[in-house]
Amino acid sequence: MDNDHSRQRKTALSALTGPYGLCEFGRERLFELVISYAAPRKDPRAVSERLLKRFRSLRGVLDASAEELRAEGSLGDDGIVLVKLFKELAGAYLKERTIGQDAEAGMADLMDYLCLTLSGERVEKFLAVYMGFRKEIISIDVLHEGTINQTVVYPRKAIEMAFRHNARSVIFVHNHPSGDPTPSSQDRQLTRVLDRAAAAVDILVIDHLIIGRDRHFSARENGWSMGLPFNCVAASP
């Protein structure tokens, strides 16, 4: 088994130093390589197949909690930590790539980050994407975790963070753990409350995004009235 692991790692190292990197590795082979590090004393192919079958997809494995991975039984604590780190590192990479970008031009990168980090969450999270005078993304902050409504997402906190970042506009974001991003009446009311609070201090609410499992909802694209059109630039302070 150790020889098999060593051979896999040498093959991967050779590929990484080649002109195409790991592009020729399929999903299953890449996952087997990860498992060869996460469970070094086990057959990586057998373990990866069991995990993919149990959680139905690679996405399911990465979205699984540590408790669910432990209950499945194929990975020890070190292996579980390694597997969980992959999604966390991917999120950190995407967030770092997003910060400083123009929000309109970089919307695809922003959505990649938001969907990766929120679509598999088991609890609701409420975030604010703060932007500067030229709509460059300054910061992405988690404002609340848990059941979301206008009584727990305090407008004052959202505005205080905007002032702290010297932000001129904001995109609010939260997820629906059910996987269905269809907005509720509470979502609409929360959007009104936040929009009024931001408008009172000349901060534009660009959008309110709701992230589901495989799709998202954009308040602005669906005609909700808030702030100004996306391509408007805030007045100079």
Query: In sequence order, what DSSP letters do the residues of 63-96 get, joined into one string?
Result: HS-HHHHHHH-S--HHHHHHHHHHHHHHHHHHHH
Distance CA 181, CA 34 (A): 32
Same structural domain for residues 112 and 214? yes
Q: Is residue 151 scored above 60 in pLDDT?
A: no
- Which residues is 216 bridged to in the sheet? 211
Asked whether 133 and 111 are in contact (CB, 8 A), the reply is no
Asked whether 74 and 39 are in contact (CB, 8 A), the reply is yes
* Total tally of structural domains belonging to the chain: 2
Same structural domain for residues 123 and 214? yes
Collect all residues with Cβ–Cβ distance below 8 Å to 209 and sequence separation of at least 6.
114, 171, 172, 173, 174, 216, 217, 218, 219
Same structural domain for residues 86 and 132? no
Among 92, 127, 159, where does a domain finish?
Answer: 92
Neighbours of 191 (CB within 10 A): 21
Mean pLDDT of 103-110: 94
Mean pLDDT of 194-215: 94
Within-domain flag for 178: yes
Same structural domain for residues 214 and 119? yes
Within-domain flag for 127: yes
Judged by average pLDDT, the poorest of 10-14, 43-47, 200-204 is: 10-14
Within-domain flag for 233: no
Same structural domain for residues 133 and 87? no
Within-domain flag for 23: yes
Which of 189, 188, 197 is CA-nearest to residue 217?
188
pLDDT of residue 237: 32
Same structural domain for residues 197 and 131? yes
Distance CA 138, CA 170 (A): 10
Within-domain flag for 232: no
**Strand pairing of 204-211 and 216-218?**
antiparallel
Which residue type does 168 have?
Answer: R
Within-domain flag for 114: yes
Same structural domain for residues 182 and 86? no
pTM of this prediction?
A: 0.86
Say which residue, 10 or 70, is predicted with more confidence.
70
Among 60, 92, 124, where does a domain finish?
Answer: 92
Same structural domain for residues 161 and 211? yes
Q: How many residues does the chain have?
A: 237
Q: Is residue 66 scored above 50 in pLDDT?
A: yes
Same structural domain for residues 173 and 65? no
Sign of the CA dihedral with 164 first, then 170, 171, and 172 last = positive
Same structural domain for residues 77 and 116? no
Within-domain flag for 181: yes
Same structural domain for residues 106 and 87? no
Within-domain flag for 67: yes
Same structural domain for residues 12 and 79? yes
Collect all residues with Cβ–Cβ distance below 8 Å to 184 and sequence separation of at least 6.
none
CATH at 115: 3.40.140.10
Q: Is residue 138 scored above 70 in pLDDT?
A: yes
Q: How confident is the model at residue 39 (pLDDT cuts 50, 70, 90)?
A: very high
Provide the domain limits for residue 8.
2-92
- Mean pLDDT for all residues in the chain: 88
Which of 190, 184, 104, 183 is CA-nearest to residue 153?
190
Among 29, 63, 92, where does a domain finish?
Answer: 92
